[in-house]
């Protein structure tokens, strides 16, 4: 009945429409006021980014184990998921290179090394013997040279003595010659007899004979002096030749010894390499951890050096998150800055602008910032756990995803909207407080 009355009177219908419009206007006004109030609410500026869970230290991150030498897989000692300790054998390989196949290679090399050491010792003994011979020759040369010098001095003294004696005899010869001349004059004058003259002639001839005999002695002494000088020179020449020959032998011995020492050094290097290589047939765990995946499988498979064989996850590690930020935001970050983290698979309610209302996030702290850009065009930032916040979940594994937002300044919402629309960076300027020092 009421609906029929409202349909019959248009004024009632018009009045009803006015009431509906007024309610809508009031709703818009209320919504606008709430929106204006919302614009002036505080908002925490932040830098959003994504990252992955990793280990804080490099040695705590997953790694692959490889073989230093090529070989053939002989035996596996572990299986995937098995816990291992440092030094536990993971796999055994055998040699595949022909130059290392001899099982007695290390023993033979050691014997060769001993033989070469004996050769070096024999060269050293020979050098000592040559040095002893050289010293003996030097001593003998010194004695021989001294004897030759003494003989030369004796010959010179004898020559000098014969010369003095010859001078005396020559003087007597001249005196006898003068006496003979005077005797001949006296004989001519009849003052001396023929007998006296003949006696004087005999005396003169006697002095001539002595003079000739002494001259012969002088020549003999002179020859002895010359022979002594030649003998003195021969002593140096003879011993110098012998010493030079020994020096040549010594140099040859040195050359042979150096060659033997070079061979010893090479054999020592080979022996050490072979010994170390024999220990590389058993590949061991570098640290405590868990075998995650076998990258090579089977028995008899040949592997090359440096090829990954198995991956291992360290047992003890400290979680961290590596996040990537745009170059525009990198000047805003610094070490020790706080970060909120949201891990994949962990329930959370996130209000990035109101961190106090956020639930299910965890605290972090920046510990490292790369100085060079990554391949994805962003900078890598490493975040560790904030010890003042509640601990991270134990269920988080390495490699899990994470969303991060780094907390900056508190600004009104309208300012943040205006910044986002214009593409401006967050505010990171700080007011410096100047403290006046008391005089």
Task: Write down the residue that tokens 């001259």 correspond to.
Answer: 215
Burial of 256 (0-12, 13-18, 19+ CB in 10 A): middle
Helices 10-39 and 413-422 cross at an angle (nearest 10°) of 80
* Closest CA relative to residue 332, chosen from 248, 395, 260, 424: 424
Proportion of the chain above pLDDT 90, given as a percent: 1
Structure tokens of 76?
A: 């596996």
- Tens digit of pLDDT for each residue in 312-358? 988 888 888 888 888 877 777 888 888 888 787 666 555 455 455 45
pTM: 0.54
Burial of 259 (0-12, 13-18, 19+ CB in 10 A): middle
List 382's β-bridge partners, or say none.
Answer: 322, 368
d(CA 214, CA 113): 77
The pLDDT of residue 349 is 54
Read off the pLDDT band of 432 (50, 70, 90). very low
* Closest CA relative to residue 232, chosen from 292, 112, 307, 150: 150
Report how far Cα 279 is from the mean position of its chain's Cα atoms: 24
pLDDT above 70 (res 285): yes
Which residues make Cβ contacts (< 8 Å) with residue 137, sequence separation at least 6?
A: 239, 242, 243, 246
Stretch 268-280: mean pLDDT: 86
d(CA 39, CA 37): 5
Stretch 43-50: mean pLDDT: 68
- Tens digit of pLDDT for each residue in 371-421? 888 888 888 999 998 888 888 888 888 888 887 766 665 666 666 666 666
Read off the pLDDT band of 436 (50, 70, 90). very low
Read off the pLDDT band of 182 (50, 70, 90). confident
Question: Bigger pLDDT: 405 or 118?
Answer: 118
Question: Bigger pLDDT: 366 or 182?
Answer: 366
At 427, is the secondary structure helix, strand, or coil? Answer: coil
Burial of 232 (0-12, 13-18, 19+ CB in 10 A): middle
E strand residue ranges, 207-305: 282-284, 289-294, 302-303
d(CA 289, CA 84): 6
Q: Do residues 346 and 367 make contact, with C-beta atoms less than 8 angstroms apart?
A: no
The pLDDT of residue 220 is 82
Q: Do residues 235 and 141 make contact, with C-beta atoms less than 8 angstroms apart?
A: yes
The pLDDT of residue 16 is 54
- Quote the radius of gyration of the chain (alpha carbons, Å): 59
Least confident of 33-47, 87-101, 174-188, 207-221: 33-47
pLDDT above 50 (res 434): no
The pLDDT of residue 27 is 74
Task: Write down the residue that tokens 């090479």 correspond to.
Answer: 266
Taking 3-state DSSP, the helix, strand and coil percentages for the chain, each rounded to the nearest 5, stand at 50, 20, 25
The pLDDT of residue 214 is 75
The phi, psi pair for 320, rounded to 5°, reads -155, 170
At 43, is the secondary structure helix, strand, or coil? Answer: strand
d(CA 290, CA 288): 7
Structure tokens of 74?
A: 């002989």
Read off the pLDDT band of 433 (50, 70, 90). very low
- Tens digit of pLDDT for each residue in 183-230? 777 777 777 777 777 777 777 777 777 778 777 877 888 888 888 788
Structure tokens of 291?
A: 């075998």
The pLDDT of residue 420 is 64
* Closest CA relative to residue 176, chosen from 184, 188, 216, 214: 184
């Amino acid at each position: 009945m009421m609906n029929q009355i409202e349909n019959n009177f248009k004024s009632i219908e018009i009045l009803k429409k006015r009431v509906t419009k007024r309610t809508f206007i009031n709703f818009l006004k209320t919504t606008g006021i709430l929106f204006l109030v919302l614009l002036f609410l505080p908002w925490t500026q932040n830098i959003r980014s994504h990252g992955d869970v990793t280990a804080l230290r490099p040695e705590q991150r997953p790694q692959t184990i490889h073989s230093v030498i090529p070989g053939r897989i002989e035996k596996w000692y572990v299986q995937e998921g098995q816990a291992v300790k440092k030094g536990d054998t993971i796999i055994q390989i055998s040699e595949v290179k022909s130059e290392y196949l001899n099982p007695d290679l290390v023993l033979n090399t050691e014997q060769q090394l001993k033989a070469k050491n004996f050769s070096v010792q024999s060269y050293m003994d020979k050098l000592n013997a040559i040095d002893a011979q050289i010293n003996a020759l030097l001593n003998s040369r010194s004695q021989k040279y001294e004897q030759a010098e003494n003989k030369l001095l004796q010959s010179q003294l004898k020559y000098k003595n014969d010369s003095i004696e010859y001078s005396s005899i020559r003087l007597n010869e001249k005196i006898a010659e003068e006496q003979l001349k005077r005797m001949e004059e006296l004989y001519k004058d009849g003052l001396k007899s023929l007998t006296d003259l003949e006696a004087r002639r005999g005396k003169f001839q006697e002095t001539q004979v002595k003079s000739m005999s002494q001259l012969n002695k002088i020549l003999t002494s002179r020859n002895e002096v010359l022979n002594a000088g030649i003998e003195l020179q021969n002593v140096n020449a003879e011993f110098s030749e012998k010493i030079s020959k020994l020096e040549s032998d010594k140099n040859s011995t040195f050359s042979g010894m150096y060659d033997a020492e070079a061979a010893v050094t090479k054999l020592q290097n080979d022996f050490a390499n072979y010994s170390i290589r024999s220990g590389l047939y058993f590949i061991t765990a570098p640290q405590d951890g868990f075998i995650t995946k076998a990258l090579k499988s089977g028995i008899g498979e040949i592997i090359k050096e440096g090829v990954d064989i198995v991956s291992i996850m360290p047992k003890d590690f400290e979680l961290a998150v590596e996040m990537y930020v745009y170059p525009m935001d990198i000047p805003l970050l610094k070490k020790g800055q706080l970060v909120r983290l949201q891990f994949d698979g962990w329930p959370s309610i996130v209000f990035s602008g109101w961190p106090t209302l956020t639930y299910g996030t965890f605290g972090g702290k920046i510990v490292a910032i790369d100085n060079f850009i990554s391949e994805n065009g962003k900078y890598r930032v490493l975040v560790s756990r904030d010890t003042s916040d509640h601990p991270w979940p134990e269920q988080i594994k390495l490699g899990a995803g994470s969303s991060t937002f780094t907390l900056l300044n508190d600004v009104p919402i309208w300012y943040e909207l205006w910044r986002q629309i214009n593409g401006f960076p967050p505010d990171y300027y700080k007011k410096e407080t100047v403290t006046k020092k008391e005089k």
